[in-house]
Chain A
Amino acid sequence: MPAYAIEGLTVGFGAAAAQHALDGVWFKIEAGEILVILGRTGSGKTTLLRTLAGLQKPDAGSIREVGEASVDITRLPPHARDMAMVFQNFSLYPHMTVRENLCFPLRAKALGLAPGEIAARAESAAAVLGLTGLLDRAPQALSGGEMQRVAIGRALVRRPKLFLMDEPLASLDAKLRERMILEIHRLQRSLGCGMVYVTHDHAEAMSLADRILVLDQGKVLQSGPPEEIYRRPIDTRVARMLGRPGINLLSVEEAGRMGLPLSGKRTLGIRPENWRVTADPSGPAVATVVEQLGPQTALVLDVEGIVLRVLAPPASRCKAGDRFRLGMDPGDLLYFDR
């Protein structure tokens, strides 16, 4: 399976465009990895995916497929790129059974596949996705999760070099999404082909990604493994996008009042789980909100007007009005230039 090099990709970034555009994007898709593109609404992430697929023409920059040789595929039409895309709104042909929906992408004359081969591929994709018992059903008779599995199956049967997924789980409920994340991960690992997965959901991104690429206003802010992005965010925008409850960001003045060193930087960041809280009736921090987030307790603390989000260890019982002392490991402090 090839890797891809995306170099200076620019789409619709001129005087007229602002949202959804790309402004000179550089990155690599490694062979066989899951690269998750994480960004807010309008960050350009779907435009990026569509440009990779060939559905959108870039104004500048190139896409190269890097295998045994390096091939410029920027001008290739979509069908010649050997990529398969799954959309958020899975569009199945309503008048075809599941089996026919799976076979359809393989019937293109250009592929030159024998009918036996087409049937075999559809059945093997159905087996992988647990759809064997549903092959002769109409799409209307399927649940949302089953329809999405068929949509993924239609991408799968083509055995593409690269999967492109555009928020494929956004319209599913939470439980189903959890299951599908696991299923997509397992599927990708067994097929070994690369995957570019677009989402605005930080938990989905961290769960699935080998690497995350954070996109904002058409620019790459940072890319790397989830832990690296989480622990060493390059700026406050990236820091705020990952983790719930969100990171605490203190200004020079606030850090000063709490006696924390800023060493010349503009903003100090501390993740909620990195505070050490100790119950102390004369402590400076008062709990204003106590929330049970499952195994953890999320506190909102007021320290003389500074509001802090804190995650207390599992099973600690406390209530609004309780007072605490705060500590932290200096190694967990993050410093930002702005």
Chain B
Amino acid sequence: MKAMDSLNTGTPRIRLEGAARKFGGHIAVYPTDLSVAPGEFVVILGPSGCGKTTTLRMIAGLESPSQGRVLINGRDVTALRPGDRDIAFVFQMFSLYPHLTVRDNVAFTLLAQGLPAAEARRCATEMLGRLGLGERAESLPRLLSGGDQQRVALARALVRSPQAFLMDEPLGTLDGELREEMHETLRDIHNRSGATTLFVTHDQGEAMRLADRIAVMREGRVVQFDHPRNIYESPADLFVAEFVGSPGMNILSARREGEWVATAGLDLMFRVAENDRDRDAMGTGTSSPGGGEIRLGVRPENVLLSENGAPCVVEQTQFLGSHNILSLRIGEAGARSEAGARNEGGSRSGEGLRDGGFIKAWIPAGVRFAEGQTVGVTFLPSGCRWFDAATGGALPWKTLEAVCRPMR
């Protein structure tokens, strides 16, 4: 990570300067600044319709920005055609030449760049081998499974040495096992070739696995751009908190009472200090909420089961092999707010808990709880994150202490 930071001081490989895109009256992407350093693997992450593909297409030259500029290696390419930008683009929907063998599909890109035929075929063969397609080199594309065809499309992009690879959900159609293999292969090829990669996905797990840095987008704006660990541990707002992680952060309504904050539906109280120097230095937000409404976010692994905790009922245990996820139904107040929320439907940010009335806890495999059993719950103070309910933004508060409040 340190190495990456020092790279950032040079000329960015890709740079957006206030680039925005409007379609009629609809703003797909608001003015956006974004820099990708040479050698960096950046993932743009967001739900469908957030503007991530439009952003990528502006860099590729497949969409013109309505305003702002696109720079590649410091050169303004805003007016250049896609073919003149020296980038390789991999789409979710790929198209191979049906009458060419797999090898020739890959070699064709290099031939088009003027490489001698023998050299082009040698490079193609090598890349196919690295993607596990060595035995398929002489096949015609239509004889391959969908997953293999997608890997050929990847090989065709990766065999070049462009300024940057732009990938739009290139693994979208692959099954789980193959996806995992492809993550390893992609990251490996990226590392060895020193390439710069910009990768778009809606899958937060994929983003966490692949990225040096993640740009989280929502409704046409980049809401956080940081290393995966920081995104995970210190989300900039409620949307990121819930979107990143599997399951996402638990979000609870909370109420300030002096230097203490009490959660709704769960008898826990937290003593907080308003200025956490670490968090403030990151500039994550203002120190006090405008409207006074507060949300507490806590990751499932920071939910601790303890005899002295607030009582919850085990609704379900999800066995996931290396660990379990417990769904815990919170107290009566929580159950009430759940009934209210269920009729609202939808999943607006900040309603995570009230939507379900549950908190999720991460527990090691082998630890067992029966459905219907009552357990005590408390939160690790250093794992508590505070948000302004009105704006959704993170508050730079430090949690000093968590105590269980006796039932009234």
Contact = CB atoms under 8 A, between A and B. Distances in A.
Contacts, number: 116
Contacts of B315: 182, 186
B210 to A, nearest CB: 9
A259 interface: no
B247 interface: yes
B175 interface: yes
Given A207-B318, A294-B245, A201 B176 contact: yes
Given A179-B356, A293-B205, A203 B345 contact: no
Given A182-B316, A226-B319, A292 B343 contact: no
A298 B321 CA distance: 14
B346 interface: yes
Contacts of B246: 174, 178, 294
16 contacts: A134-B345, A143-B347, A173-B47, A173-B48, A179-B347, A179-B355, A182-B356, A182-B358, A206-B320, A230-B319, A244-B176, A292-B208, A292-B228, A292-B232, A295-B299, A295-B300
Q: What 5 A-B pairs have minimum CB-CB distances, sorted nearest first?
A: A130-B342, A295-B301, A273-B322, A207-B318, A133-B343
Interface in A86-133: 130-133
B39 to A, nearest CB: 14
A41 interface: yes
Interface in A34-66: 40-41
Contacts of B126: none
A112 B104 CA distance: 65
A289 interface: yes
A178 B343 contact: no
Interface string A286-307: 0001011111101010000000
B119 interface: no
A12 B203 CA distance: 36
B320 A203 contact: yes
User: Which of B232, B320, B325, B371: most chain A CB closer than 10 A?
Assistant: B320
Contacts of B320: 203, 206-207
A175 interface: yes
B276 interface: no
A273 B316 contact: no
B318 to A, nearest CB: 4
Interface string A272-286: 110000000000000
Given A174-B203, A289-B184, A295-B301, A207 B319 contact: yes
Contact of A242 (B187, B242, B321, B344): B321
B345 A175 contact: no
Interface of A: 40-41, 130-134, 142-143, 145-146, 173-176, 178-179, 181-182, 185-186, 189, 200-203, 206-207, 226-227, 230, 240-246, 271-273, 289, 291-296, 298, 300, 311, 314, 319
Interface residues on B, range: 35 or more
B22 interface: no
B232 A182 contact: no
A319 B4 CA distance: 13
Contact of B209 (A227, A291, A314): A291
Nearest to A208: B318
A289 B211 CA distance: 12
Contact of A146 (B229, B319, B345): B345
Interface in B322-349: 322-323, 325, 327, 342-347
A295 B209 contact: no
A292 B202 CA distance: 18
B247 A300 contact: no
Contacts of B47: 173
A273 B321 contact: yes
Contact of A145 (B203, B319, B347): B347
Given A242-B321, A289-B187, A294 B175 contact: no
A304 B375 CA distance: 46
Contacts of A40: 175
Contacts of A296: 322-323
A195 to B, nearest CB: 15
B152 to A, nearest CB: 18
Nearest to B342: A130
Contacts of A314: 301, 362
B259 interface: no
A137 B403 CA distance: 45
Nearest to A41: B175
Nearest to B356: A179
A243 B175 CA distance: 13
Contacts of A134: 343, 345
User: Which of B300, B316, B322, B342: most chain A CB closer than 10 A?
Assistant: B322
B184 A300 contact: yes
Nearest to B2: A319
Contact of B322 (A176, A227, A271, A300): A271
Contacts of A246: 177, 180
B209 A185 contact: no
A33 to B, nearest CB: 14
B180 A175 contact: no
B177 A241 contact: yes
B356 A295 contact: no
Interface string B175-197: 11100100010011000000000
Given A240-B177, A244-B176, A292-B208, A175 B322 contact: no
Nearest to B187: A289
Contacts of A243: 321-322
B216 to A, nearest CB: 14
Given A289-B187, A293-B208, A294-B245, A175 B347 contact: yes
A273 B365 contact: yes
A294 B208 contact: yes
Given A130-B342, A294-B301, A319-B1, 17 more contacts: A130-B345, A143-B346, A143-B347, A179-B347, A181-B318, A182-B316, A182-B356, A203-B320, A230-B319, A243-B321, A243-B322, A271-B321, A273-B365, A292-B228, A293-B205, A294-B245, A295-B323
Contacts of A245: 180
A245 B355 CA distance: 30
A130 B176 CA distance: 32
A308 to B, nearest CB: 12
Contacts of A173: 47-48, 202
Interface string B364-403: 0100000100000000000000000000000000000000
A300 B185 CA distance: 12
B149 interface: no
